[in-house]
């Protein structure tokens, strides 16, 4: 029976992953955080290594792996943007057969993935789309549009097999509803100036909030 996508992970992206022969694969999860994807993949794969630069998140991931008795899932602190780090990891284990990056994508990460994967191996990623939270007037610096992501992957010797924009536009009947939908984001948005822009958008009559991601599977040529 098919295993359901972990909470907050798009079923489309999960299907791209589970279509691969996971039981035979060593997987690198880039920007794993506290291991949402790594822990879900653990029971399905030969081995999973989650890397992140946030030591606190990794500690939580280790706790969760131990609680779930997942001996084949490990977590390593590492800056995935830094050139060469993947190779240091690779020195301690075989090169990954599959690299996943869920909401942690940069040009450097794509380039590093290209260097770590043998021809025929897959990079599967979810990136923020430039339309993510467009109502705040500011795209994340990690956001891509379709053309830029496809271009970066092609330049790094990947053949793009699947690239899909997944967009959800919430529509609100009132300002109160719109504010309630963004409540968990307020602190972060106040810090980076987005909150002010969102307020302005609502004052001007806007009543939407857009979430948008790109789900991608690309194969190293």
Ligand X SMILES: C[S@@+](CC[C@H](N)C(=O)[O-])C[C@H]1O[C@@H](n2cnc3c(N)ncnc32)[C@H](O)[C@@H]1O
Q: Which two tokens stand for residue 107?
A: 């040009």
Nearer to ligand X, 57 or 209 (CB): 57
Nearer to ligand X, 3 or 221 (CB): 3
CB contact burial 135-163 (16+ within 10 A = b; e otherwise)? bbebbbeebbbeeebbebbeebebebeeb
Closest approach of ligand X to the CB of residue 33, in Å: 3
Lookup result for tokens 């609680």? 67
Closest approach of ligand X to the CB of residue 99, in Å: 12
Q: Minimal CA–CA distance to 214: which of 122, 154, 159, 142?
A: 142
Rg (CA), the chain: 18
Q: Minimal CA–CA distance to 93: which of 74, 108, 119, 112?
A: 74
Closest approach of ligand X to the CB of residue 38, in Å: 8
Closest approach of ligand X to the CB of residue 25, in Å: 18
Nearer to ligand X, 142 or 172 (CB): 142
Per the CB < 8 A criterion, the answer to whether 142 and 212 are in contact is no
Nearer to ligand X, 81 or 157 (CB): 81
Sites of contact with ligand X (CB under 6 A)? 31-33, 36-37, 52-54, 57, 79-81, 102-104
């Amino acid at each position: 029976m098919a295993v359901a996508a972990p909470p907050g992970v798009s079923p489309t992206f999960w299907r791209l992953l589970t279509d691969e022969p996971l039981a035979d694969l060593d997987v690198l999860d880039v920007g794993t955080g506290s291991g949402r994807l790594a822990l879900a993949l653990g029971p399905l794969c030969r081995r999973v290594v989650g890397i992140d630069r946030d030591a606190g998140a990794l500690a939580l991931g280790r706790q969760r792996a131990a609680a779930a008795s997942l001996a084949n899932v490990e977590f390593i602190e590492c800056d995935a943007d830094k050139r060469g780090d993947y190779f240091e990891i690779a020195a301690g284990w075989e090169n990954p057969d599959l690299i996943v990056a869920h909401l942690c994508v940069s040009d450097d990460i794509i380039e590093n993935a290209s260097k770590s994967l043998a021809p025929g191996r897959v990079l599967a990623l979810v990136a923020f789309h430039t339309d993510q939270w467009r109502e705040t007037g500011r795209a994340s610096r990690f956001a891509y549009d379709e053309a830029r992501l496809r271009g970066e992957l092609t330049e790094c010797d990947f053949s793009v097999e699947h690239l899909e924009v997944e967009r959800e536009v919430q529509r609100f009947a009132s300002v109160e509803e719109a504010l309630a939908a963004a409540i968990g984001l307020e602190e972060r948005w106040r810090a980076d100036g987005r909150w002010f822009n969102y307020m302005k958008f609502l004052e001007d009559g806007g009543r939407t909030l857009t979430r948008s991601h790109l789900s991608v599977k690309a194969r190293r040529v």
